[in-house]
């Protein structure tokens, strides 16, 4: 049996309205054969958890441009843990290199820097999902 | 192989879903969507346990405002104390199999309360969709959601069929774009139980209404219930402004009451079952035919056709005889 | 030279001679004297103003060097303002944090992690007072980059000025207040488009009557471009929004010449040098023609497309950020050659974080080099007459006109209705997303070189970066401050002014600026005022177009 399609939620957490990158990533992942559930702007950790349950998502991609990543991304991870959902969270957007370790420590599965090439984006998502499927 | 004493993993998930656990409902939907033996197991489990949930189809051309209207309906249903679920079906890319599913956006915000929204991609298998959608609707109904709404883009026969096999089918059109005429061509008029002219504040809304009335006048067959003397109502709405959702839902509820009063609900459901059984048989036969053609005897037949010794029609008759004799 | 052109030339000469010039030598570095303009007419300051809005252009007055600043608390930004004025900046430009931009108070759940991060946090009049402490509002010109809650921030600015004895009629500045591009690109909307437009026209009516030096709308293509549009889309969508505001204001009964002179524009200066110059030239020409021919404007000031420009934040790279200084210099030069009236130059570290003080200073110095060292300010529209630049200008105009025709058809003869329809049916966001995706594919497959990203990548040193950090203490501080303000105010007066606002909002014939001013003076918070209006106006949720 072939691997089921990857279903990934893409969202902007909080008030930040920069959705250019998120839309580009949405198309890129679709073109890589994934099913992208696009939640768009102004999501909260709670609304993303609710969507992840209903959509049976394999991964969650967050795009962050407002320097709020150190506050908001760990909240997302914690909200998933409370809901007992083991879904990898991948963060992209503007994240300074020195914050990557802190995000990883907080449980973020991967961080994609600005200008990450398409192959890397697809690859990071695939690896995060593969890891979840093999352990879960 | 299951034994009497151990529950299968699917059975266990089903138990949690039936108890109202959303995550389990989400998982079951993935299982039925993937198809295969586990999906069949879910179908066994949900069969006969779907209660009386009202299945509502919403369809129309792309951009008609279906998801906005659906969002408004969901908000209205919740306000009335209902527990609705929505299955939003969107096309997959035929090239890559990927899809962008964005319908939640306009529903999520309104979907306070106990609402379940699931996005589903068509995954390029039209036959698969025809099975996956009814199976998913049964999962949602078995989990206690009522009504269960399925929203599809009204292009392509399978999408129309999927929406058209609901208890009540709502067809959404917009003014000024020849939408009514397009809907007629796409076969949507035949399946409509309720028409909605959305964006009714736009110029041309009353023209669209008149077009629809005219087409209903001209068509002796319009609506599944035309023979029983029911003419589909036309509701003017403006989903963006939140106007008309109450009226649309009132017509949907009225249609169901009409079905029940006229003993037609069971008929609807029987024809839905018949459709599903038929699709399943086709799928089973398709696999058998492929196997037969791949076998040495099949290969011989094909060679004879290629060599001009046998007509394709004669070969097909021979194959069918073999197929029927096989079991 | 044709007789007609000779006529243009003599009229231009007369106008030029009437201008007060800066006291600097207009010659090359080697001492060669240069003419104020070369080539054919129509000349700068002449309809349709392709070559510039003023006959002497930068010979009489350089562009305003307006640097955008805002971070942390109001006191923090106040310090940065004073610094910029001290360094020779000539106008203040305020960046607000996301909660303020979206109409949420610092103590709202939505504000978590975002207070003071991307700009300054303003919750009440008390914050606004701190923001402009010890700055004479009668002598500076202030630009405020805010849209959804714009009337509230303008009301706060007026209230601060009046409390320090400055009349509202003496206030000079600009408030962005361009709500249409929020639905198209920047996504910082609150209410649905039509009630939002009512707030815009209320402000236009209010400032037209009471604040003659104020620009009530800065029609902004900048964000459309940043969201990924092409140059022609930026041009066309922006001007179409401008036409929409004109139509909306006229429909409230304002005569076009009463308000059009106070409209201004805000464009992006991106990295394709000549295309950017052509875009600004085409913008002036199109605006003048449409205002005259379609909207019947007769006053010359109504025809002038006055432009603020900012270099392209989106073009800055996180890799080797110091090379962004070169990008900004090139973009600043394009803005100057395109004839901008004011300019913000981005700081090189903006792809990573908010600018440090050092980076902001380098950015200001960059445009000072363009203005004072390069000599490009000696001659108006020095590229006018170049076959390439003229053809590109015409091409920008052709592409823009095709888009106007589409919107006009969508709106059945109304650009305003066409813009509403394009927002509702996802036309704008779809076009922008397509263009952004094409660009990214180009970068990704190497067809388009971005230095430091997909070529010439050696030399990046992520270890050694000095970034501006806004700590969580800002958030704590701001919340405590807000608590204190709330504890200290007359709660009944707050409730009364908010109730009055909600009730006035239900009557579209009333101007909402006066009740908003009342609420602001009662120390109602921004979030409370936004919610009072939301009760009547509702909330906008966009349709997903990817």
Q: What is the Cα C530 distance to its own chain's centre?
A: 22
> Is it the case that residue C462 has pLDDT exceeding 80?
no
Q: Can you tell me the mean pLDDT for C267-296?
A: 98
State the angle between helix axes of C357-372 and C74-86 in degrees (0 to 180), rounded to the nearest 10.
30
> Is it the case that residue C33 has pLDDT exceeding 80?
yes
Domain count for chain C, please give it: 1
DSSP states along B156-209: SHHHHHHHHTSSEEEEEE-TTTTHHHHHHHTTHHHH-SEEEE-STTSTTHHHHH
SS3 B88: strand
List, in order, residues 6 or more apart from C121 with CB less than 8 Å away. Answer: C72, C73, C74, C96, C97, C99, C100, C106, C115, C127, C474, C478
Distance (Å) from the C-alpha of residue A118 to the closest C-alpha of chain C? 7
Q: Copy the structure tokens of residue C210.
A: 């009471």
> Is it the case that residue C346 has pLDDT exceeding 70?
yes
Query: The domain containing residue C128 runs over which residues?
Result: 57-444
Q: What are phi and psi of C444, to 5 degrees?
A: -65, -40
User: What is the rounded CA–CA span in Å between residue B70 and residue B249?
Assistant: 10
List pLDDT tens digits, range B99-129: 999 888 877 666 566 899 999 998 755 556 7
List, in order, residues 6 or more apart from C413 with CB less than 8 Å away. Answer: none
DSSP states along B209-248: HHHHHHHHHH-SS-STTGGGT----EEE-BGGGTBSHHHH
* Chain B residues with beta carbon closer than 8 angstroms to that of A39: 104-105, 108
> Is it the case that residue C415 has pLDDT exceeding 90?
yes
Do B194 and B251 form a contact (C-beta atoms < 8 A)? yes
Is A57 or B61 the better-scoring residue by pLDDT?
Answer: A57
Q: What are phi and psi of B99, to 5 degrees?
A: -155, 150
A118 touches chain C (CB under 8 A): yes
Inside any domain, residue A2: no
Q: Can you tell me the mean pLDDT for B231-243?
A: 83
User: What is the rounded CA–CA span in Å between residue A72 and residue B283?
Assistant: 48
Question: Looking at residue C72, which CATH number applies to its domain?
Answer: 3.20.20.240
B9 touches chain A (CB under 8 A): no
State which H helix or E strand residue C44 sits in: none
Do C348 and C362 form a contact (C-beta atoms < 8 A)? yes
Q: What is the Cα C231 distance to its own chain's centre?
A: 16
Inside any domain, residue A82: yes
Between B176-180, C238-242, C468-472, the lowest mean confidence (pLDDT) is in B176-180
Per-residue pLDDT, B4: 47
Query: The domain containing residue A80 runs over which residues?
Result: 7-135
Between C250-259, C298-307, C344-353, C417-426, the lowest mean confidence (pLDDT) is in C344-353
Residue C37 — left, alpha, or beta (φ > 0 → left; ψ -120 to 50 → alpha)? beta
Distance (Å) from the C-alpha of residue B61 to the closest C-alpha of chain A? 21
Q: Copy the structure tokens of residue B324.
A: 């029927």
Confidence of residue B2 (pLDDT cuts 50, 70, 90): very low
CB contact under 8 A, B99 and A30: yes
User: What is the rounded CA–CA span in Å between residue C455 and residue C319?
Assistant: 11
CB contact under 8 A, A27 and B23: no
State which H helix or E strand residue C545 sits in: none
Q: Please name which of B32, B219, B58, B221 lies closest in space to residue B135, comparing C-alpha atoms.
A: B32
Residue C398 — left, alpha, or beta (φ > 0 → left; ψ -120 to 50 → alpha)? alpha
List of chains touching B (3+ CB pairs within 8 A) = A, C
Q: How would you class A127 by CB atoms within 10 Å of its CB: exposed for 0-12, middle for 13-18, buried for 19 or more?
A: middle
Inside any domain, residue C466: no
Per-residue pLDDT, B227: 59
User: What is the rounded CA–CA span in Å between residue C202 and residue C180?
Assistant: 15
Confidence of residue B163 (pLDDT cuts 50, 70, 90): low
Per-residue pLDDT, C402: 98
Per-residue pLDDT, B3: 46
CATH number of this structure's domain B50-262: 3.40.50.300
Per-residue pLDDT, B174: 85
Between A41-55, A110-124, B148-162, C220-234, the lowest mean confidence (pLDDT) is in B148-162
User: What is the rounded CA–CA span in Å between residue A41 and residue A60?
Assistant: 14
b/e per residue, A3-39, with b = 16+ CB within 10 A? Answer: ebbbbbbbbbbbbbbbbbbbbbbbbbbbbbbbbbbbb
Pick the residue from chain B with its C-alpha nearest to C417. Answer: B202
B37 touches chain A (CB under 8 A): no
Inside any domain, residue C453: no
Inside any domain, residue C464: no
Inside any domain, residue A1: no
Per-residue pLDDT, A1: 39
Helices (H), C218-356: 222-226, 231-251, 256-259, 273-293, 300-303, 324-337
User: What is the rounded CA–CA span in Å between residue A132 and residue B290?
Assistant: 36
Question: Looking at residue A47, which CATH number applies to its domain?
Answer: 3.40.50.280
Interface residue of B27, B108, B139 to substitute, partner A, most A CBs within 10 Å:
B108
Per-residue pLDDT, C272: 98
> Is it the case that residue C467 has pLDDT exceeding 80?
no
* Chain B residues with beta carbon closer than 8 angstroms to that of A83: 23
Distances C416 to A83, B126, C249 between C-alpha atoms, Å: 47, 42, 10
Between B15-19, C235-239, C272-276, C520-524, the lowest mean confidence (pLDDT) is in B15-19
CB contact under 8 A, B242 and C412: no
Per-residue pLDDT, C80: 84
For chain B, give every residue range classified as CATH 3.40.50.300: 50-262
Q: Please name which of C246, C254, C259, C255 lies closest in space to residue C294, comparing C-alpha atoms.
A: C246
Distances B66 to B116, C189, C543 between C-alpha atoms, Å: 17, 23, 11
Inside any domain, residue C145: yes
Q: Copy the structure tokens of residue A10.
A: 């893409």
Is C225 or B187 the better-scoring residue by pLDDT?
Answer: C225
CB contact under 8 A, C112 and A72: yes
Query: How many other CB atoms are found less than 10 A from the CB of residue C48?
Result: 17
Pick the residue from chain B with its C-alpha nearest to A86. Answer: B23
Inside any domain, residue C3: no
CB contact under 8 A, C546 and B105: no
Per-residue pLDDT, C6: 79
Inter-chain Cβ pairs, chain A and chain C, closer than 8 A: 97
Tell me what percent of the residues of chain C surpass a pLDDT of 70: 99
List pLDDT tens digits, range A17-59: 889 999 999 999 999 999 999 999 999 999 999 999 999 999 9
CB contact under 8 A, A14 and C114: yes
* Chain B residues with beta carbon closer than 8 angstroms to that of A56: 23, 26-27, 29-30
Inside any domain, residue C97: yes
> Is it the case that residue B178 has pLDDT exceeding 80?
no
Domain count for chain A, please give it: 1
Per-residue pLDDT, C65: 86
Strands B168-173 and B55-60, by their bridges, are parallel
Per-residue pLDDT, B124: 59
C543 touches chain B (CB under 8 A): yes
Query: How many other CB atoms are found less than 10 A from the CB of residue B298?
Result: 18
Inside any domain, residue A26: yes
List pLDDT tens digits, range B30-52: 999 988 889 999 999 998 887 78
Inside any domain, residue C439: yes
b/e per residue, C373-405, with b = 16+ CB within 10 A? Answer: eeeebbbbbbbbebeebbebbeebbebbbebbe
Q: Please name which of A65, A64, A74, A67 lies closest in space to residue A10, comparing C-alpha atoms.
A: A64
List pLDDT tens digits, range A106-134: 999 999 987 788 999 999 999 999 998 88
Task: State pTM to two decimals.
Answer: 0.90
For chain B, the average pLDDT equals 84
Q: What are phi and psi of A71, to 5 degrees?
A: -90, -45
Is B187 or C140 the better-scoring residue by pLDDT?
Answer: C140
Confidence of residue C4 (pLDDT cuts 50, 70, 90): low
């Amino acid at each position: 049996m072939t691997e089921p399609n990857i279903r990934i939620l893409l969202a902007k957490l909080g008030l930040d309205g920069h959705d250019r990158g998120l839309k580009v990533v949405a198309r890129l992942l679709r073109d890589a054969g994934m099913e992208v559930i696009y939640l768009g702007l102004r999501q909260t950790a709670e609304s993303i958890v609710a969507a992840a349950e209903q959509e049976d998502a394999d991964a969650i991609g967050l795009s962050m441009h407002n320097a709020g990543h150190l506050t908001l991304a760990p909240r997302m991870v914690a909200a998933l843990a409370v809901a007992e959902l083991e879904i990898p969270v991948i963060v992209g957007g503007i994240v300074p290199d020195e914050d990557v370790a802190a995000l990883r420590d907080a449980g973020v599965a991967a961080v994609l820097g600005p200008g990450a090439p398409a192959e890397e984006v697809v690859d990071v998502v695939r690896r995060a999902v593969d890891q979840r499927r093999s352990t879960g | 192989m299951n034994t009497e004493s151990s529950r299968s993993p699917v059975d266990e998930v089903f138990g949690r879903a039936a108890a109202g656990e959303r995550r389990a409902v989400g998982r079951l939907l993935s299982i039925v969507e993937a198809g295969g033996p586990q999906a069949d197991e879910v179908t066994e489990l949900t069969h006969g346990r779907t209660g009386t949930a009202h299945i509502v189809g919403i369809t129309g051309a792309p951009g008609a405002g279906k998801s906005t209207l659906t969002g408004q309906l969901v908000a209205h249903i919740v306000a009335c104390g209902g527990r609705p679920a929505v299955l939003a079906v969107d096309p997959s890319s035929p090239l890559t199999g990927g899809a962008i599913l964005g319908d939640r956006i306009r529903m999520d915000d309104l979907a306070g309360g106990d609402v379940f929204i699931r996005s589903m991609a068509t995954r390029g298998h039209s036959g698969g969709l025809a099975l996956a959608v009814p199976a998913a609707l049964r999962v949602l109904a078995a989990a206690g959601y009522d009504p269960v709404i399925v929203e599809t883009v009204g292009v392509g026969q399978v999408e129309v069929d999927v929406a058209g096999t609901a208890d009540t089918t709502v067809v959404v059109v917009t003014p000024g774009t020849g939408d009514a005429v397009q809907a007629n061509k796409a076969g949507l008029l035949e399946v409509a139980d309720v028409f909605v002219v959305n964006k009714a504040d736009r110029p041309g809304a009353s023209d669209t209404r008149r077009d629809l009335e005219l087409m209903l006048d001209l068509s002796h067959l319009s609506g599944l219930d035309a023979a029983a003397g029911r003419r589909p109502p036309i509701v003017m709405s403006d989903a963006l402004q939140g106007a008309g959702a109450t009226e649309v839902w009132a017509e949907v509820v009225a249609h169901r009451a009409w079905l029940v009063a006229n003993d037609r609900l069971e008929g609807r459901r029987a024809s839905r079952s018949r459709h599903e059984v038929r699709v399943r048989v086709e799928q089973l036969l398709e696999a058998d035919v492929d196997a037969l053609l791949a076998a040495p005897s099949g290969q011989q037949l094909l060679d004879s056709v290629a060599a001009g010794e046998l007509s394709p029609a004669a070969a097909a008759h021979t194959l069918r005889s073999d197929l029927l004799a096989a079991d | 030279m044709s007789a007609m052109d000779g006529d243009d030339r003599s009229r231009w000469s007369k106008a030029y001679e009437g201008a007060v010039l800066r006291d600097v030598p207009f010659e090359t570095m080697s001492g060669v004297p240069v003419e104020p303009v070369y080539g054919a007419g129509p000349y700068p300051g002449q309809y349709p103003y392709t070559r510039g809005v003023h006959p002497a252009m930068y010979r009489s007055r350089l562009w305003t060097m307006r640097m955008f600043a805002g971070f942390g608390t109001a006191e923090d930004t106040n310090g940065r303002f004073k610094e910029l004025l001290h360094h020779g900046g000539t106008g203040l430009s305020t960046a607000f944090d996301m909660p303020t931009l979206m109409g949420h108070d610092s103590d709202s759940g939505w504000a978590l992690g975002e207070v003071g991060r991307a700009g300054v946090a303003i919750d009440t009049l008390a914050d606004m007072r701190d923001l402009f402490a010890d700055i004479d509002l009668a002598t500076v010109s202030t630009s405020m980059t805010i849209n959804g809650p714009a009337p509230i921030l303008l009301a706060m600015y007026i209230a601060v000025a009046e409390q320090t004895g400055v009349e509202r009629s003496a206030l000079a500045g600009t408030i962005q207040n361009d709500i249409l591009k929020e639905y198209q690109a920047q996504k910082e909307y609150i209410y649905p488009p039509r009630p939002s437009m009512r707030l815009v026209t209320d402000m236009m009516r209010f400032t037209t009557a009471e604040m003659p030096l104020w620009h009530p709308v800065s029609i902004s293509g900048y964000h459309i471009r940043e969201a990924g549009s092409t140059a022609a889309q930026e041009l066309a969508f922006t001007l179409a929004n401008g036409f929409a505001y004109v139509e909306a204001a006229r429909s409230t009964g304002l005569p076009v010449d009463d308000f059009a002179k106070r409209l201004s524009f805000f464009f992006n200066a991106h990295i394709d040098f000549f295309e950017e110059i052509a875009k600004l030239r085409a913008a002036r020409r199109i605006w003048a023609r449409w205002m005259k021919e379609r909207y019947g404007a007769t006053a010359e000031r109504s025809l002038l497309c006055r432009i603020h420009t900012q270099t392209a934040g989106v073009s800055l790279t996180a890799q080797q950020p110091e090379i962004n200084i070169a990008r900004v210099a090139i973009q600043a030069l394009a803005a100057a050659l395109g004839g901008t009236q004011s300019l913000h130059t981005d700081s090189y570290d903006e792809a990573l974080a908010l600018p440090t003080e050092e980076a902001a200073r380098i950015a200001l110095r960059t445009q000072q080099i363009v203005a004072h060292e390069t000599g490009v300010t000696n001659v108006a529209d020095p590229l006018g007459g170049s076959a390439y630049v003229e053809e590109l200008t015409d091409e920008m105009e052709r592409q823009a006109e095709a888009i106007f025709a589409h919107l006009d058809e969508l709106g059945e003869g109304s650009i305003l209705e066409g813009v509403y329809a394009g927002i509702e049916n996802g036309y704008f966001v779809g076009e922008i997303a397509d263009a952004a995706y094409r660009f990214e594919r180009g970068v990704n497959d190497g067809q388009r070189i971005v230095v430091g990203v997909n070529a010439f990548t050696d030399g990046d040193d992520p270890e050694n970066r000095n970034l501006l950090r806004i700590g969580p203490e800002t958030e704590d501080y701001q919340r405590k401050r807000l608590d204190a303000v709330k504890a200290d105010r007359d709660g009944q007066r707050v409730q009364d002014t908010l109730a009055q606002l909600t009730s006035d909002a239900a009557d579209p014939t009333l101007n909402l600026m006066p009740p908003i001013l009342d609420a602001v003076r009662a120390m109602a918070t921004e979030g409370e005022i936004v919610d009072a209006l939301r009760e009547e106006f509702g909330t906008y949720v966009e349709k997903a177009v990817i």
